Every structure is written in structure tokens, then in C-alpha cells.
Amino acid sequence: MLRKIVFLFFMLLFCTGMSYTSAECKTLPTLGMYPFKNDGIITDGWDRSDMDAVDDYAYAALDDTGLFTLLSRTDLRQVVDEIALSNTGLVDPSTAVQTFRLKGAHYILAGNIMGVTARKSKTSLIGAGTDRYKVTANVSMRIINTETGEVIAAAIGSGTAKKTVSKAPLGIIRIGEAEVDKQQVLDALKLAVDNAAKGQNGIAQKLKRVNGIER
């Protein structure tokens, strides 16, 4: 009930006194986004640029929901830089709430790569070894109210990418005992992020149910 009241309060705050032609509010709460944590991929060849790609997936997915106005990427980068300068590194999102609020964010998206697994089976094509992989990624995402620090919605998403590749030295990383195409891992992560943001039990659907606008 408290989560519903909090979300309705902000929606009412931005809609009050405004004229609009549809039942939906034209001005939406502003959402900031904290860089994803990586608790699931520990391997050579996976770096910050790959994590940036995951952040981009989340940014696009939340933008697609139509429930928020997202802080610009410039503002997001400034917030992260300010946090990094005042600490030894990126800190937990709960300690960054005030910084995001000063930038005008009413909510923060915080995400985490929970795990990435790969299963493979070997077949033979004209005497050449070919590995078939199925990569599965799991992520968690939560929306934090910058005024209260309360998590108003949270979801876990899963995504699986199937691909057949021949072993090659370029673009291959190790997940457990399997050697997989890095792009396949990114594809699985994108599917997982989309599922957590826009899936049947994702953040968008949960917020719509709370707000009473589920179709």
C-alpha cells in the first residue's frame, strides 16, 4: 500500500494543474540510472565497455516503458563521475541517492548481473569441431525513490541466447569451462534486461498494476 501511495503521489504531483488530451499524464517522473553491478561475470576479456553496453540496454528498455523521463546521458555521467571523485570507486546506490536527487531524479534504477552460465555440446562437421552453446543470463533491477530511499518496484529477468560458432581467437571469452562468443553473452544480457524491465513480471508491469492502469 505504501508503494502505491508513493508512486501515485508523484504521478499526481506532475499531473496536477496540467491540461492534457488523454487519460495519461504528459509529464512523467524523472529517472536516473546507476551503472549495473557485475556479480555474475568474472572472466578475462570482459571489461568496462561491455558493462556500458548493459547500461545502454537498460536505458533503452526503461525509456520504452513510457513511465519515466530519463536523465540525459550527460547528466548520468556527471553523477557517476561526482560519486567516483568523492569515493574510492562506485558505491552502493543507496549512498548516491542525494546526488541523483540534486540532478532532478525522483527515482533511480539500480541493476545487477546476477549470473551468466553456458552449456555446450560438441558435434562434428566434416571432421572439424564445432561447439554449440546456450548462454543464459540473469539480472536484477530495482527502482529506488530518491526522496525516501524506498524500493518501489523490483524484478529479476532472464534471457537465453543460442548460437553456433567455430572456435576463434577473436571475440571469445570463457564462461565457466565453455568458450563463448562475447556477442552471444551480450545478446543474452539484453534479453534478460528487457525481461526485467518490460516482461510480464517486469518493473513496468508492476508499476502499472500499482498505479491501476494495467489493461
59 falls within a domain: yes
Instruction: Enter the C-alpha cell of residue 25.
Output: 499524464
21 domain-assigned:
no
- Rounded to 5 degrees, what angle do the CA atoms 91, 95, 101 make? 120
Tally of domains in the chain: 1
Q: What is the pLDDT of residues 133-175, one digit of tens each?
A: 889 999 999 999 988 889 999 999 999 998 765 555 447 888 8
Q: Which residue has the cell 534486461?
A: 193
Residue 161 lies in a domain: yes
Q: Is 153 domain-assigned?
A: yes
As to burial, measured by CB atoms within 10 angstroms (0-12 exposed, 13-18 middle, 19+ buried), residue 109 is: buried
> Domain holding 150: CATH number?
3.40.50.10610
pLDDT given at position 49: 83
Burial 57-96 (b: 16+ CB within 10 A, else e): bbbebbeebebbbbbeeebbeebbeebeeeeeeeeebeeb
Give pTM, 2 decimals.
Answer: 0.77
Q: How much is the pLDDT for 209?
A: 82
In a domain, 85, yes or no: yes
Provide the domain limits for residue 135: 2-16+26-211
The answer to whether position 151 is within a domain reads yes
What is the C-alpha to C-alpha distance for residues 139 and 116, in angstroms, rounded to an integer?
9
Residue corresponding to grid cell 494543474: 17
Among 11-25, 87-101, 143-157, name the most confident range: 143-157
- Taking only the tens place, the pLDDT of each residue in 31-45 is 998 889 999 888 878
How many residues belong to the chain? 215
The three cell numbers of residue 11 are: 504521478
- pLDDT band, residue 210 (cuts 50/70/90): confident
The answer as to whether 141 is a domain residue is yes
Is residue 116 in a domain?
yes
Residue 79 banded pLDDT, cuts 50, 70, 90: confident
CB atoms within 10 A of CB 145: 21
